[in-house]
Amino acid sequence: MGSLLAWLESLPGWLVLADLGGLYLVLWGRHRRRRPGPALAFLTGLLVLGLTLSPPLALAAEHLFSLHVAQHLLLGMVGPLLLLLGRPAAILVRGAPRPVARLLLRAVPLPPPVRALVGSPLVGVLGLNGLLFYLHEPAAYDRLPEAPALHALAHGALFLSGLLFWWPALGAGLGRGRFSPELRLGYLFVAGLVTGLSGFFFVFAPTPLIRAHLTTAPAWGLSPLADQQLGGILIVVAAKLVVLGALTIFFFRLMAAADDGPGWRRPSFSPSSRPPFPG
Instruction: Flag whether pLDDT at 122 surpasses 80.
Output: yes
Contacts with 62 (C-beta within 8 Å, 6 or more apart), sequence order: 68, 145, 216
> Which band of pLDDT confidence, cut at 50, 70 and 90, is reported for residue 265?
very low
What is the pLDDT of the chain when averaged over all its residues?
86
Which pairs from 213-220 meet CB under 8 Å and 24+ separation? 213/63, 213/64, 213/65, 216/62, 216/63, 216/64, 217/63, 217/64, 217/65, 219/63, 220/60, 220/63, 220/64
Instruction: Flag whether pLDDT at 263 surpasses 70.
Output: no
Instruction: Flag whether pLDDT at 8 surpasses 80.
Output: no
Q: Which residue has the higher pLDDT, 259 or 106?
A: 106
Residue 66 burial (C-beta neighbours within 10 Å; 0-12, 13-18, 19+): buried
Q: What is the largest CA-CA distance in the chain?
A: 62
Alpha-carbon span 243 to 166, nearest angstrom: 9
pLDDT digits (tens, 9 = 90+) for 28-84: 988 777 789 999 999 999 999 999 999 999 999 999 999 999 999 999 999 999 999
pLDDT computed for residue 171 by the predictor = 73
Alpha-carbon span 158 to 135, nearest angstrom: 9
> Which band of pLDDT confidence, cut at 50, 70 and 90, is reported for residue 258?
low
For 271, how many CA atoms within 13 A lie in the half-sphere containing its CB?
0
> Which band of pLDDT confidence, cut at 50, 70 and 90, is reported for residue 95?
confident
Average pLDDT over residues 168-196: 81
> Which band of pLDDT confidence, cut at 50, 70 and 90, is reported for residue 108?
low
Alpha-carbon span 161 to 61, nearest angstrom: 20
pLDDT computed for residue 111 by the predictor = 74
Q: Which residue has the higher pLDDT, 263 or 54?
A: 54
pLDDT computed for residue 166 by the predictor = 94
pLDDT computed for residue 70 by the predictor = 97
Average pLDDT over residues 252-268: 58
Q: How many CB atoms lie within 10 A of CB 221?
A: 9
Report the chain's terminal Cα–Cα distance, integer Å. Answer: 47
